[in-house]
Amino acid sequence: MVNIGGNVAAVMEKIDAAARARALCPEKIKLMAVSKRHSLEEMLCASEYVPLLGENRVQEAQAKRAGWPSGNKTPWHLIGHLQRNKARKALELFDVIESVDSFETARVLDRILKENGREGYPVYIEVNMSGEPSKNGVEPESALPLLENILGSCHGLSVEGLMTVGPLTDNEYAVRKAFAGLRLLRDIMRRASGLPLPELSMGMSGDYIAAVEEGSTIIRVGTAIFGPRNL
Ligand X SMILES: *Cc1c(COP(=O)(O)O)cnc(C)c1O
In the bound complex, what is the minimum distance in angstroms from residue 29's beta carbon to ligand X? 15
Burial 163-201 (b: 16+ CB within 10 A, else e): bbbbbeeeeeebbbbbbbbbbebbeebeeeeebebebbb
Which region, judged by CB under 6 A, interacts with ligand X, from 11-19, 63-71, 178-186, 203-211? Answer: 203-211
Asked if residue 90 binds ligand X (CB under 6 A), the reply is no
Nearest distance from C-beta of residue 173 to ligand X, angstroms: 20
Identify the residue among 39, 158, 169, 205 touching ligand X (CB under 6 A): 205
Decide if residue 165 touches ligand X (CB under 6 A): yes
Radius of gyration of the chain (CA): 17
What is the rounded CA–CA span in Å between residue 84 and residue 67?
25
DSSP state of 28: G
Number of residues engaging ligand X in binding (CB under 6 A): 14
- Of 63-82, binders to ligand X (CB under 6 A) are 79-80
Contact 222, 34 (CB under 8 A): yes
Under rule CB under 6 A, residue 8 binds ligand X: no
Are 82 and 90 in contact by the 8 Å Cβ rule? The answer is yes
Q: Which residues contact ligand X by CB under 6 A?
A: 34, 36, 56, 79-80, 165, 204-206, 220-224
